[in-house]
Structure 1
């Protein structure tokens, strides 16, 4: 469940007649607990409560329903309950159906609303659903509640008005919703003369069955498009009840005033939405949630389109806000310096070329207004109007509705800032009518000329426009002069990995990259925004920072994208290494992202941010940041066909291309009916990543040519070989080429004495990369890498923290898991020249790791390397291995991963600069 669904569920629960026996279970169901879990609690099997009327869910909450007037005493009993502590409950809750009290046991925070109002504390309870508490939602859940109300209204209106759901009328429907949002906000903030004017008018003058609601709305909208002086002569005449609405203009109510028809339920949803307190709406987060309402594909993820303010500030602060605050600090009470800073603020342009519903622009605007107010306060000019124009906050958005919401969110933000910093009277005096200037462009950002939308300093752009809320595609619509100003580009462009891109996305990237670089088809879609920003920055001296998938700073995408960006003339000015960009989905940690800031003339020192083990942000200043978001020169790691250091060759395991007929489970192996001698001759254990890490048992047919005739006398084997041949004959060229030896894998490689196995994919939570030592009887599949007959000291290198850090930086990831690459990770791994004593010491370390694992047989690699359960002797063996290896590199242990990476990149640069590559080593792997 997501936050919107949870809010709807608890709101419905609060409206039902109170049932003391049912409440605990209904409450838990509202937070996403499955019926099976609730059934076990009902039966008492999982209910460990020791409080009368109590229901205790382990690791979650202890609830008790009590008699009237004893809520506080019951909450005290829950707090003191031994069962609460033993079950590690995070919350306690007591209610009598009239009042409700609850406590977060981790923070000590408590709430005590009357029972019908407990849904107002949605943010307090969200951790019960596995959703991290977010300050904006915890303090004020109206954004979530408003999203839910509008979604219900939207769905009901489309059900009653299917023609409004068509492509031809979808824009009308979205424009209608924007009008409603403005009316809800305006009636609660004195923009309309009279609190609740809009909702009360609908409630008073519309029929209960909703039959004339669309007519009332049409008249209200018409009124807000007629100036007061013209209302006496307009035709048809406005009804008296509509005359109370002010003239708004700005294009929001121009054009058609048509409204969809309402049912009784739709009218109810409309009134319920209006009864919320829209005064407290957060335009910086509301927009990203409401945009999902109007998108059929996104509505299933309703409420998850939340971009937290702290995450956005990870972009905006180092991009330009930190500098503004530093200048404010330096200005002190000096009026001249304060005036210069205020002039600077007035000429800063913030440009989001993938603005969605405007989150980045709104937050940038609010932060700048806060700084401007502090300037005015120090200059004793607190009632002064703002010099920061909304038109300096420019954006591009592909879809019309989010673009419309972005404009509306900025208008709301401006009004809220005026109220806060200038007072309600001055804010109202300047608010209406709305301006017709438009600064959010609807179009494809990768196809548009950014210079025409956010032109260089001192360049004017003027294209006539009808109004603010009806944007001609691809056109700027303000006369924009910004002499002496700065431009900061920011945002969270769409990611879309190469496999997820549709034809139109590939076409966009082709138009940008095709004549400039090769292999562009492997790039994430977000790469297009970086290249456009780099080109723009060279011409405008702009600074850019985007949230991006961390994959563009890892693996194969680095040499493709960053070589071109560096060639253009841009450098990385600041970066935030990988972190989770969370949303409001239950138990959903969100996507792993990075933040990268680029500029043609980067400011020094460069700033590199990361999260420490406690989750706190740590800043490091350095001279250079490379494309892997590590301190160091702009080195690019290219694939190498053989190790650059004196290491053994690593290759893919064996590929079956068999339709599954050469592979066997234990039962399938036994069903072959082989003698022990035949089984030894024709069957081998096979390991891929999953089999090695999780201890899964799998086998394969492994038939040497000299044994083929004998193998084919066994019907079960002959049938499998026949099926393999059929699969290959009907496959691609590679499969057809090996169809005549369908008793074998594509390759038949194995170690004569031993094999080291390295999984192709491994969990990012493990403190070390899994690597194993196998006998010559084990086959390695193509889902893992193999080093055949390699000296054991190679294992010590792979199992080290140094190698894990290198792989995590240069190889890329599959989702968040480590994705190994022999050509990028192993062959490029910088290793100093090892003495025979070094190799002996590392061999001893590898043996110690293997012995430590053996002591815990039959524990699997997954169990042994669980970070919370890793055995002490195994951890000690790895730490000893790290100490021995790191002393070879620098004579001591590295202080942290940052220092490790710096040394590795330094060595790699030396290795490649010398242009002396080691010749490929001949493999000693067996082949028969």
Structure 2
């Protein structure tokens, strides 16, 4: 369950009559406990409570219902209970149906409220559902409650108004929801004259059976679109005339309202009775946008981008510099005035703005700096000089675009109240501005220059309504002489295999005249390239959240040389971290943040790493390359072989057999039992799974000279016939050609009698070392593995080193959260210093020690042994010794960390490339900037 679903379940529980016997189980059910779990608690099988009326769930909660007036005493009993300690519970909870008390056993934080009010504290208990982003939810519990209720209203209205769900009317429905949100906010913040005016009017003027609810709301909307002192205003019902003129496009156009059922009317009134002063536009929009999207509604509550994560983009982009200038200005009036003028001309442009999170937070942060300037200049009441028109966005879908506009309006009003006071804020709020700063359209197809034009050009386009305008381009009269432009955002990621035809077309439109390798790129690459092209026309700095795969493997040479050709450099970057949301167990995608500027910006580069405890460590460096390593901008490209002849890595054998050449252990034993001679044609075979998890698998391995004899064995003959049929029916010519030799793997890389050092093509990122293995002669490896055939054992030492692991993790591609190894990219480019015979002997000894340490734990598999949490001490020590011996060959000591390892490896790779250019310039296969 996600946070919104939990909040809804808790609210429904609070609305039901209190049942002391049932409450503990209903409470646990609301947090996602399954029926089987609850059944065991009910029967007492897993209920460890020693308090009357109590239920104790191990590692979770100890709760009890009690007699009236004894809540505090019961909570004390729960706290002192031996069962509470024994079962290591996170929370204790007591209630009598009137009073509600709970305590977090780790922090000591307490909740004490009336029983009907406990849903307001649902975020307190979210660890019970495995949700770890609790702090953000607690701080924004209102946004989640409001989202939950708006979703229920939205679904109910569509059920009764199916025509509003059709494609041609969905925008009307979304616009209606935006109007409602504004009304709820306005009635609780005195924008309307009278607290609760909108909800109270609907309640009083619409019939209880809801038959005219839509007419009442429509009249209110007409009032807010009608100027005072006009004949139309006089025609409004008296009760509607008390509403102010709002317009700004929000209430222009059709005032149609969907029909309400009694249930929908009830939902509307319930939503209106929430305290909308608590709305936080930083995150509200990113959750509410899911309400209007059928596909996203199933993930309602997961659409949350935390403020700290957004600030990871905005702070190094420009906010850190502004704060530094504020500190530098001190109380100097002229310096403060210059900084205020600078603030007023800064433009923030998010070309994938969604519901406006980045823009809203940028605006609020800038207003805070401006407010401090005004205080220091003794001008605290001064109107803001930061216009909303300086916050631009592009969003593909209409509803999020509307919510983004609304979120910025709400943010502006809240900032005015905070920094100037309620009276001044209200005096200047209405009517809304009609300028449009959020463009609804496809960011990869639109011309960014027309949406955020070069400063001082005086671009004049026709202005239309702020809301309900699904424009393909921005429409604004804008001139901003000398202002700075900052591009930011969190564009859609989508790997190449998961893109829709339309998305692939978008990338083609961006890269068509740049590179023909765009089909390999993640979707986010389109925004990086557009920002680079835009930066060639407009002086700007851009920063995007991107999948870390954009800085790994083949995507680097496919994308970054063309970005750098646009006079771009990486100015700052965050290395990989989880961009989390509100999903259970803090689910998220691994991302990086990349800031790009022109080469003319000469400031020191910042490479920022997120530690395990969430802290950020900043390194000032002279260069950051496309792999986000502090090194010159060199691109690692595939090589057909190594130049030092140290050892060629080859593919395993590819069967293309329909599975008929493979045997399970049981099939092997049955075949050899019936036909003992068949044993000479059966070999142990390893793929990635067999290598890592120790699974036994076998294959038929028949030499050309033995085909006739092998075919006389009936089970083998049957299998060969099946391979022949399968291959002959293939659409691929090489496979059809292989039908003539069904006894052979389609691609054979080995004779079958070699010692093999094997490693998987796909391996988990969660290990600390490559799970390579030394396989005995006679073993066959499949195409899921790479191998060294009959090579010296010291190569094993190199493969399983930490140096090789970090190189692979940087230059090879990713497959979701796994590394996708490449011999041409991972091994052939791996820098290795010249090795003496003594070096090789030392490394061979290290390799043998690792293999012996593994053997000591037989039958533990590689998967068992290389679990970072349970890796045996002697095996880890053997690897540490291997790393020490190897790293002393590189630099005479151990490397301090992986960053230092990568710096050295890229330094060596640069020297290798430079050497190749001098000797054979035409054959060099690395591009540099």
Q: TM-score, normalised to structure 2's length?
A: 0.96
- Structure 1 window deviating more from structure 2 (497-506 vs 36-45): it is 36-45
The equivalent of 2:816 in structure 1 is 815
Q: CA deviation at 1:677?
A: 4.0
Deviation of 1:79 after TM superposition, in Å, equals 3.4
Provide the C-alpha distance between the structure 2 equivalents of 1:857 and 1:676, rounded to a whole number of angstroms: 31
Aligned-partner Cα distance in 2 for 1:53–1:862: 46
In the TM superposition, what are the counterparts of 1:879-894 in structure 2 within 5 Å? 879-894=880-895
In structure 2, what is the equivalent of residue 522 of structure 1?
Answer: 520
Distance 1:671 1:918, change over 3 A: farther
Residue number in structure 1 paired with 2:589: 591
Q: Identify which range, 505-514 or 703-712, moves more after superposition.
A: 703-712
CA drift of 1:172 comes to: 0.6
CA deviations 1:769-816 (Å, max 9, x no partner) are 211111123221111221212211111111111111111111122112
Corresponding residue for residue 38 of structure 1: 38
State the match for 2:290 in structure 1: 292
Residues 662-701 of structure 1: pairs in structure 2 closer than 5 A: 662-672=661-671, 674=673, 677-701=676-700
Matched residue, 1:743: 743
CA apart distance, 1:646:
4.2
- 1:604-623 correspondence to structure 2 within 5 Å: 604-623=603-622
Structure 2 distance, partners of 1:710, 1:220, is 91
Give per-residue Cα distances to partners, 1:291-331, cap 9 Å, x unaligned: 11111111111111111100000000000000000000001
Task: Show the counterpart of 2:236.
Answer: 238
Following TM superposition, by how much is the alpha carbon of 1:108 offset from its aligned partner in structure 2, in angstroms? Answer: 2.6
Aligned partners of 1:697, 1:116: CA distance in 2, in Å?
60
Q: Decide whether aligned partners of structure 1 residues 644 and 309 sit closer, same or farther in structure 2, where only a CA change above 3 A counts.
A: farther
Q: Which residue of 2 aligns with 1:923?
A: none
3-state SS of 1:636 partner: coil
User: Could you report, residue by residue, the CA deviation over 1:113-172 in whole angstroms, capped at 9, with x for unpaired residues?
Assistant: 222212111222222222223434212301111111111111111111111111111111
Q: CA deviation at 1:675?
A: 5.0
C-alpha spacing 1:677/1:832, structure 2 compared with 1 (3 Å):
farther
* Cα displacement (A) at 1:96: 2.8
Pairwise CA distance, 1:673: 5.4
Q: How many angstroms apart in 1 are the aligned matches of 2:691 and 2:45?
A: 37
Partner of 1:767: 768
CA distance 1:40–1:840, shift in 2 (3 Å): farther
CA contact (8 A) 2:164 2:172 kept: yes
Q: Which residue of 1 aligns with 2:564?
A: 566
Asked whether the equivalents of residues 645 and 827 of structure 1 are also in contact (C-alpha less than 8 Å), the reply is no
Deviations 1:43-101 (A, max 9, x none): 33333334443333333333333333333333334334444444433333233333222
Listed one character per residue, the Cα deviations across residues 484-511 of structure 1 (whole Å, up to 9, x for unaligned) are 1100000011111111111211111112
Q: Which residue of structure 2 aligns with residue 108 of structure 1?
A: 108
- CA change 1:72–1:768 in 2 (3 A) is farther
Residue matched to 2:494 = 496
1:101-140 matched pairs, under 5 angstroms? 101-140=101-140
Query: Residue 229 of structure 2 aligns to a residue in which SS?
Result: helix
The 1:673–1:55 alpha-carbon spacing in structure 2 relative to 1, beyond 3 Å, is farther
How far apart, in 2, do the equivalents of 1:817 and 1:84 lie? 41
For residues 593-624 of structure 1, give each alpha carbon's deviation from its aligned partner in whole angstroms, at most 9, with x where no partner exists.
Answer: 11000011334210001122433211111000
Q: 1:867 Cα deviation (Å)?
A: 1.4
TM-superposed CA distance for 1:588, in Å, is 4.5
Q: 1:177-203 CA distances to partner (integer Å, 9 max, x unpaired)?
A: 100010011011110111111111111
| Cα contact 2:459–2:477 (8 A) shared by 1 | yes
> Is the aligned partner of 1:324 residue 2:322?
yes
CA shift for structure 1 position 387: 0.4
Judged with a 3 Å threshold, the aligned counterparts in structure 2 of structure 1 residues 916 and 545 are, in CA distance, closer, same or farther, namely closer
- Quote how far apart the aligned CAs of 1:246 are: 0.7
Counterpart for residue 834 of structure 1: 835
Q: Distance in 1 between matches of 2:43 and 2:677?
A: 55
Task: Name the CA distance, whole Å, in 1 between partners of 2:86 and 2:762.
Answer: 38
Q: SS in structure 2 opposite 1:93?
A: strand
Matches within 5 A, 1:97-246: 97-230=97-230, 233-234=231-232, 237-246=235-244
Cα displacement (A) at 1:215:
0.7
Indicate yes or no: 2:537 matched with 1:536: no
| Correspondence for 2:848 | 847
> Residues 57 and 678 of structure 1: is their aligned pair in 2 closer, same or farther, counting only changes over 3 Å?
farther
Measured after TM superposition, the shift of residue 764 of structure 1 is 1.7
Query: Which residue in 1 is equivalent to 2:413?
Result: 415
* C-alpha deviation, 1:916, in angstroms: 7.9
- In structure 2, the residue matched to 1:26 is 26
Specify the alignment match of 2:279 in structure 1. 281
What CA deviation, in whole Å up to 9, does each residue of 1:625-683 have, x standing for no partner?
Answer: 00001100001000111124443221221112122222222233344354584353122
Q: CA deviation at 1:712?
A: 2.1
1:446 is paired with a residue whose SS is: coil
Cα distance in 2 for partners of 1:102, 1:27 equals 13
Equivalent position SS for 1:64? strand
Per-residue Cα deviation, 1:20-51 (whole angstroms, up to 9, x for no partner) = 33222222221222223333333333333344
Q: Note the C-alpha offset of 1:706.
A: 2.6
Note the C-alpha offset of 1:475.
2.7
Structure 1 residue 866: Cα displacement: 1.3
The answer for the alignment partner of 1:922 in structure 2 is none
Partner of 1:643: 642
How many Å apart are 1:472 and its aligned residue? 5.3
Q: How far apart are residue 838 of structure 1 and its match?
A: 0.9
2:453 to 452, 455, 459: 455
Give 3-state SS (helix, strand or coil) of 2:295's partner.
Answer: coil
User: After superposition, where does 1:370-409 map in structure 2 within 5 Å?
Assistant: 370-409=368-407
Q: In the alignment, is residue 707 of structure 1 matched against residue 706 of structure 2?
A: yes
Call closer, same or farther: CA 1:721–1:825 in 2, change over 3 Å. same
C-alpha change, 1:361 and 1:829, in structure 2 (3 Å) is same
3-state DSSP class of the match of 1:210?
Answer: coil
Q: 1:166 to 1:671 in 2, by over 3 A?
A: farther
- Quick check: 1:654 aligned with 2:653? yes
Segments of structure 1 that go 5 or more residues without pairing to the other structure are 920-928
For the residues of structure 2 that align with 1:404 and 1:787, how far apart are their CA atoms?
59
Change (3 A) 1:512 1:89: same
Q: Matches of 1:448 and 1:730 in 2, distance apart?
A: 47
CA contact (8 A) 1:645 1:918 kept: no
Unaligned residue ranges in structure 2 (runs of 5+): 921-929
Whether the 8 Å contact between 1:461 and 1:480 is mirrored in structure 2 is yes
Contact preservation (8 Å) 2:683, 2:698: yes
Q: 1:299 to 1:472 in 2, by over 3 A?
A: closer
CA pair 160-329 structure 1, distance change in 2 beyond 3 A: same
Question: Deviations along 1:332-379, whole A, 9 cap, x unmatched?
Answer: 111111111000000000000111110000000000000000001111
Distance 1:384 1:585, change over 3 A: same
Is the alpha carbon distance of 1:235 and 1:106 closer, same or farther for their aligned partners in structure 2, counting shifts above 3 Å? closer
